Chains A and B, each alone.
Chain A
Amino acid sequence: MSNRIIGENVPQLDSWLKVTGTLRYAFDITLPGMLYAKLVTSKYAHARIKSVDVSDALRVPGVVAVVTGADFPYRLGIYISDRDVLANKKVRWVGHPVAAVIATDLSSAEEAVEKVNVDYEELEPVLDVERALEKDAPLVHEDLDKYSVFPGFKPVPGTNIANEFLLVKGDIDKGLRESDLVIEETFRLPQISHVTMEVQNAIGYWRPDDIIEIWSSVQSPFATRYLLSKSLNVPINRIVVHAPPIGGGFGLKAGLGWEALVALLSKKANNRPVKLVLSRAEQFISAPSRDGFVAKVKAGFSRDGRFRAYHAEFLMDAGAYADYTVNVSRTAGYSADGSYDIENVFVRSLAIYTNKIPTTAMRGFGHPENHWPLELIIDRAARELGMDPVEIRRKNLLRPGVSRRATGELVREDEGNPEAVLMTAAEAIQMGKVELPREPWIVRGKGIAMLVKAPSQPPNAGASAVVKLNEDGSLDVITGTGSMGQGTPTSLAMIAADAFGVPLEKVKVTQLEGVDSDRNPYTWQTVGSRGLFSDGIALLRAIEDAKNQIREMASVVFRVPKEDVEVAEGYVYSRTHPWMRKELREFANGYMFPDGTTVGGPVVGRGTYAPVLNTFLDEKGHGNNTVFHTFGATAVEIELNILTGEIRIIKAVQVFDVGRAINLLTLRGQADGGFIMGMGSALFEEIRFDESGWVLNPNLTHYYVPRISDVNFEIEERFLETPQKDGPLGARGIGEHVMIAVAPAIANAVLQATGVKMNYLPMKAENVWRELMRQRPELVASAMEAYMRSLKEVLAR
């Protein structure tokens, strides 16, 4: 196999279009006769809708129709059908869409939404997960028993529990009893937003022939199509979802978004296409975010640092809708033991409805959540036991080929090398070496955190690929994974170029220009870091199929057995008689002899992939539900200003066992981008609610994501390559892993630098200062004094 391109630094094939602003996103699409939709949203967190008066709105010139929830009595959802198209009978959060205006132009639509008068009867809202679990708490969903539920999920009707998941290993009581050290803590994470550069937007076109066409900024056109079909009761082959390249997904655009609404609006508007584009504020308030999270944990260790027992209760704030978040809670539950072999585990993971913004998948879902308590508690234990944070981790790491996860799954021998990952990160950051403070009020610290993650997907999450050989020897590669900046299409092109031995320019990956649900072969979803792995395997099989077709033809041409024919380096030749050689292009439409007789026909290779022997998890959380795991570690060195609570990253290290590096440039980009996104969630980001459930910061001024000026430090990326036997060329995915361990690594560095325990995010200056004042007030006082004394050397004028 040629090694000329695999593992090289290859710019993504659509980079040029992106940086010149010429790539066309769904946002850019306008159709002839298109109408514009605008949402009327709820002003209350929880209220009964008494009436909706649309008469004034209908009088606004340009308005075509105004619709309300009563017009669209459909239920939506991927794992639990708890969503409505527009609020029906009651509103469940501030920002809940109640009605939609359709007009010939956006200006008229925006004028009209102000004239829709909704009469509400306020109900008591529930804005906190702990309150939501109380017996007398108001119910967010009274009809929980009527929703359809995907196998493996357990809502509890009559409560606010959308899903309950249990993971049980060993005897937790015994484990805790026999531990020498038991640490008990409560950890919290706020709701955060994906902040994709391209806001959600969708065009629905219910054609006069009753075919529904959708253009939308979606990650997973096949899942969107399936869910639309299920929700609207329309056959799948009468729905076409066009998914152009998307400007950032991060899980926000997985599953079903606004597509059902725009399709129904188009039908209402007499089959004219209707477009909905969210403003940034609507994106913050009316669209889903990442869950809020409370973890109450008890962790038991033996004196020598063995992790004996882990008891955790996860309360996941799912907000008003948990259609995807039930799987987030399940995932946080089954993978709660992370990279460690813990003797006794008991995890109860709940997704809980509240009257807040609904929630959905976000990069690595379940793992940024469950790694936050796990990776902090292990550092706390190390401190109590007088151990080194690296040593205690090393002692407890899963051992490939030997250990079993709490789910009962054996850690595969070829799964990666967690110990090498840990030691590489520790060495790169020089964990043991402590820097002296630059100033007496500025301290330095180093922190490390491990991570492991597998795609969280149903047991039948398949993929497929097609390879076509063209007349000039170029190739068309088609799979179902779209382009959202993650780099999978470019990596697939590299795999095809490598397999045929042709230059990269000869390979076209059609999904770079978008995925159409009726033209591209199926893949389950573009989520879970599964794209390269699943589509990659399907592609290699399609390549093999195409090569077999060529071999059949060539065996006739060369008069050698089929097995003797090799397709490589852009040629077709006989292994035993290598002077018998033809160019690849000569087989594109079958091989034609000089007299015109032809063997074979056009070369179209097909390949599929499906997870092998995956199962649902049973009532103890046991089963085999993963296809591959990727181990990683993040380490940081930080500077903390004791006077202000400000944290500055000095250096970051990102280490992942990727199996095989396909595109090094994309890997580095993912490692850097993931660190920055993780740093944002660690230091700045938080959706803030007031006591009535209003969002206080639905804008990028006060919902602060890192700017390029915040990235003034070195990020070192290191990739280990323990080949995954069934992975494409040995590769595994890392698209989400890159942000999972960032926040715990930074919090562990704060602990090392100051002894201060940060149990919640964000670690913005005020929060760090508050914890310093609560836990180490003497540090702040002496820092202030040191600053004063530093003025001694500075003479006043």
Chain B
Amino acid sequence: MSFGSSYFTVPKFTHIRPSSIDELLDFLSEHGEEAKVMAGGVGLVAFMKERLLRPKYVVSLSGINELKTLELGDKGLSVGAGVHLSELENDAIRRAYPTLYFAVRSIADPIIRNMGTLIGDVLEALPWGDAYPALISLNARAEILSRKSRREVSVNGIVTGFGQTAISEDEIVTRITVPQEEVEGTYVKFSNASEYGLATVALSYYPKRESFTMVIGSVSESPVILTEKDVEWKFGEPLEQNARRLISYIDRNVSPMSDMLSSSEFRKHVVKVIALESIKEVFKQ
């Protein structure tokens, strides 16, 4: 969480601007421990101004064209590490992956979205992040490269704790992909008296296989994930009965944190309200 900086400047650092992924991986394999990778910089620069991070090297992705690609097609969606959030704010994304579209639109403001990146939003690893829950609900995957290895993992699990990720210092998340599948969905963010959401619900519904994933964000270090099986959802049954089972599941299984945005009790109440709002929106006929 940003506490506000007493400083105008950032601690001294050396700026590295590789022009290819190879060059980037070379640098990270040697200096990864003293380096921070900067995509849009909206998180990193703020943390540096607050003296929470003092990297010796700041490695900018802005010179690597391979990372700036955004593809939407037969194979699904592929978003490079250099793709700014605002590039996702279009009708094609909205039609194909509404959950992601609405999550992105809810992040900060247009100026920040012009600078910030999708992958940066995930790797900031704050419980209040918006992209991470949406991507989990869409079964997104991440490509992770280092000098030594290439791995592809589910986005779910990349965030391991408050500000912590499963990416090691010599690695880089090059792109996030979302599989091609017909999906409907929404993203409901409840914020009040703060820019951050005090509770969020990402709901992605796959009509072909009658399945959905609901991801509840901003309530704990890691989001709460539930599916139609968890809540014994019965497609074809009136929504009200399904909704009651959903509420009862949340009652039993969600214990939100208390922080400066909200008490645990209010959060839990809000989660129920916005969970209902999300199903009303997605499942209405």
Task: With CB as the reference atom, state the residue of chain A lying closest to B128.
Answer: A701
Residues of the B chain whose Cβ atoms lie less than 8 Å from the Cβ of A39: 6
Tell me the minimal C-beta distance from A680 to chain B in angstroms. 10
B9 partner residues in chain A, CB cutoff 8 A: 106-107, 110
Q: A93: CB under 8 A from chain B?
A: no
Determine if A794 and B4 form an interchain contact, defined as CB atoms under 8 angstroms apart: no
Contact yes or no, A701 B196, CB < 8 A: yes
Among B24-82, those with CB < 8 Å from A are: 51
Chain B residue, CB-CB nearest to A694: B3
Q: B11 to chain A: which residues have CB within 8 Å?
A: 111
The residue among A769, A770, A796 with the most chain B CB atoms within 10 A of its own CB is: A796
B194 at the interface (CB under 8 A from A): yes
Minimum C-beta distance from A433 to chain B (A): 29
Stretch from B132-140, B158-166, B218-226, B237-245 contacting the other chain:
B237-245
B270 adjacent to A644 (CB under 8 Å): yes
Which residues in A have their C-beta under 8 angstroms from that of B260?
A: 688, 696-697, 702
- Most-contacted residue by chain A among B11, B242, B262, B273 (CB, 10 A): B273
Is A764 in contact with B4, judged by CB distance below 8 angstroms? Answer: no
Complex CA–CA separation, A318 to B240 (angstroms): 53
A281 touches B195 (CB 8 A): no
**Nearest CB of chain B from residue A631's CB, rounded to whole Å:** 31
Query: In the complex the two chains form, is A787's CB within 8 Å of B276's CB?
Result: yes
Number of interface residues of B (CB under 8 A): 45
**Do residues A699 and B285 form an inter-chain contact, with CB atoms below 8 A?**
no
Query: Is A791 in contact with B240, judged by CB distance below 8 angstroms?
Result: yes
Report B-chain residues with C-beta under 8 Å of the C-beta of A794.
239, 280, 283-285
Contact of B4 among A280, A683, A769, A791 (CB under 8 A): A280
Contacts of B263 in A (CB 8 A): 766
CA distance A114 to B10 in the complex (A): 13
Contact A796/B4 with A688-B260, A791-B280 known, Cβ cut-off 8 Å: no
Quick check: B266 and A698 within 8 Å, CB to CB? no
One digit per residue, 1 when the CB lies within 8 angstroms of any chain B CB and 0 when it does not, for chain A 210-244 equals 00000000000000000000000000000000000
Across the interface, do A279 and B2 meet the contact criterion of CB distance under 8 Å? no
- Given A697-B260, A702-B194, the answer on whether A279 and B240 have CB atoms closer than 8 Å is no
Within 8 A of A (CB), among B218-263: 234-240, 242-244, 247, 260-263
B193 proximal to A (CB < 8 A): yes
Minimum CB–CB distance for A577 against chain B, Å: 66
Q: Do B8 and A106 have beta carbons less than 8 Å apart?
A: yes
Q: Are B262 and A766 in contact (CB under 8 A)?
A: yes
Residue in B6, B266, B285 whose beta carbon sits within 8 Å of that of A769 in the complex:
B266
Confirm or deny: A788 has a beta carbon within 8 angstroms of a beta carbon on chain B: yes
> In the complex, A765→B261 CA distance in Å?
11
Alpha-carbon separation in the docked complex, A41 to B4 (Å) = 15
Contacts of A788 in B (CB 8 A): 240, 243-244, 247, 276
Q: A646 touching B192 by the CB < 8 A rule?
A: yes
Query: Are B266 and A282 interface neighbours, CB within 8 A?
Result: no
Are B193 and A684 in contact, CB atoms less than 8 angstroms apart? Answer: yes
Q: Mark A526-543, 1 if CB is under 8 A from B, else 0.
A: 000000000000000000
Rounded to whole angstroms, the CA-CA distance of A465 and B192 in the bound complex is 47
A667 interfacial contact with B, CB 8 Å: no
Q: Is the CB of A704 within 8 A of B194?
A: yes
Which residues does chain A contribute within 8 Å of B280, judged by CB atoms? 790-791, 794
Number of residues from A at the complex interface, CB < 8 A: 47
Q: Are B193 and A796 interface neighbours, CB within 8 A? A: no
Q: Does A372 contact B (CB under 8 A)?
A: no
Q: Chain B contacts of A41 at CB under 8 A?
A: 6
A-side contacts of B247, CB under 8 Å: 788
CA distance A696 to B194 in the complex (A): 12
Decide: A796 and B266 in contact? CB cutoff 8 A. Answer: no
B269 contacts the other chain (CB 8 A): yes
Q: Of A110, A644, A684, A699, which one neighbours B3 at CB under 8 angstroms? A: A699
Query: What's the Cα separation between A688 and B244 when bound, in Å?
Result: 37
A684 to B280, CA, bound (A): 29
Q: Which residues of B contact A643 (CB under 8 A)?
A: 273
Query: A591 in the interface, Cβ–Cβ < 8 Å?
Result: no
A727-781 interface (Cβ within 8 A of B)? 762, 764-766, 769-770
Q: Kindly supply a per-residue 1/0 record for chain B positions 109-128, scoring 1 wherever the CB is within 8 Å of any chain A CB and 0 otherwise.
A: 00000000000000000000
Smallest distance from the beta carbon of B188 to chain A beta carbons, Å?
Answer: 11
Q: How many angstroms between the C-alpha atoms of A688 and B3 in the bound complex?
A: 12
Using a CB-CB cutoff of 8 Å, which residues 688-708 of chain A contact chain B?
Answer: 688, 696-702, 704
Q: Is B5 in the interface zone, CB < 8 Å from A?
A: yes
A146 within 8 A of B: no
Contact between chains at A279 and B5 (CB < 8 Å): yes
Residues of A contacting B2 in the complex (Cβ-Cβ under 8 angstroms): 699, 701
- Chain A residues near B237: list those with CB within 8 A: 796
Nearest CB of chain A from residue B61's CB, rounded to whole Å:
25
Do residues B239 and A701 form an inter-chain contact, with CB atoms below 8 A?
no
Q: Would you give the shortest CB distance from A113 to chain B, in whole angstroms?
A: 8
Contact present for A702 and B195 (CB under 8 Å):
yes
Cα A784 to Cα B4 with chains together (Å): 37
Q: How far is the CA of A791 from the CA of B275 in the complex (A)?
A: 12
- Judge if A797 is at the interface, Cβ distance under 8 Å: yes
Q: Are A644 and B239 in contact (CB under 8 A)?
A: no
Cβ-neighbour of A279 out of B7, B51, B238, B269 (below 8 A): B7
* In the complex, residue of chain A having the shortest beta-carbon distance to the beta carbon of B242: A796
Q: Does A277 contact B (CB under 8 A)?
A: yes
Compute how far the CA of A106 lies from the CA of B131 in the bound complex, rounded to whole angstroms.
36
The answer on a CB contact under 8 Å between A796 and B235 is: yes
Residues A279 and B8 in contact in the complex (CB < 8 Å), given A794-B239, A794-B280, A797-B207: yes
Within the complex, which residue of B7, B192, B242, B270 is in contact with A110, where a contact is CB–CB below 8 Å?
Answer: B7
CB distance from A462 to the nearest CB of B (A): 40
Asked whether any CB of chain B lies closer than 8 Å to the CB of A250, the reply is no
Q: Does A438 reach chain B (CB closer than 8 Å)?
A: no
Contact B239 A795 (CB under 8 A): yes
- For B262, list chain A residues within 8 Å (CB): 766
Of chain B, the residue at the smallest CB distance from A646 is B192
Q: Are B6 and A792 in contact (CB under 8 A)?
A: no
Please indicate the chain A residues that have their CB under 8 angstroms from the CB of B242 in the complex. Answer: 796
Q: Which of A279, A697, A791 touches B243 (beta carbons < 8 Å)? A: A791
A691: min CB distance to chain B, Å: 13
The answer to whether A792 and B194 touch (CB under 8 A), given A699-B3, A766-B263, A769-B269, is no
The answer to whether B8 and A644 touch across the interface, beta carbons within 8 angstroms, is: no
The answer to whether residues A791 and B207 also contact, given A279-B6, A688-B260, A697-B260 and a CB cut-off of 8 A, is no
Contacts of B234 in A (CB 8 A): 796
Q: Report chain A residues within 8 Å CB of B12.
A: 107, 111
Given A764-B193, A791-B280, does the pair A698, B239 have CB atoms closer than 8 Å? Answer: no
The answer to whether B238 and A792 touch across the interface, beta carbons within 8 angstroms, is: yes
**In the complex, what residues of B have CB within 8 A of residue A764's CB?**
192-193
Q: Tell me the smallest distance from the CB of B244 to a CB of chain A, in Å.
A: 7
- In the bound complex, how far is the Cα of B274 from the Cα of A765, in angstroms? 14
How many angstroms between the C-alpha atoms of A788 and B239 in the bound complex? 9
B245 to chain A minimum Cβ distance, whole angstroms, is 11
Closest B residue to A95 by beta carbon equals B6
Contact partner, B194, options A277, A698, A701, Cβ 8 Å: A701
Closest beta carbon of chain A to B64's beta carbon, Å: 29
Which B residues are CB-close (under 8 A) to A797? 207, 235-236, 283, 285
Contact partners of A110 in chain B: CB under 8 A: 7-9
- Mark contacts of A72-116 with chain B using CB atoms, 8 A cut-off: 1 yes-contact digit, 0 otherwise: 000000000000000000000000000000000011001100100
In the bound complex, what is the Cα–Cα distance between A39 and B8 (angstroms)? 12
A126 shortest CB reach to chain B, Å = 23
Among B6, B192, B235, contact of A281 (Cβ-Cβ < 8 Å): B6
Using a CB-CB cutoff of 8 Å, which residues 31-55 of chain A contact chain B?
39, 41
Give me 11 A-to-B residue pairs in the complex whose CB atoms sit less than 8 angstroms apart, sorted by A's number: A106-B8, A111-B12, A279-B4, A279-B5, A644-B192, A696-B260, A697-B4, A699-B4, A788-B276, A790-B280, A796-B235
Additional 9 contacts, C-beta under 8 A, given A644-B270, A700-B195: A110-B8, A685-B193, A697-B260, A702-B1, A704-B195, A765-B192, A766-B266, A788-B247, A789-B240
Listed from nearest, the 9 A-B pairs whose CB atoms lie closest are: A699-B4, A281-B4, A698-B4, A764-B193, A765-B192, A684-B193, A796-B239, A791-B239, A791-B240
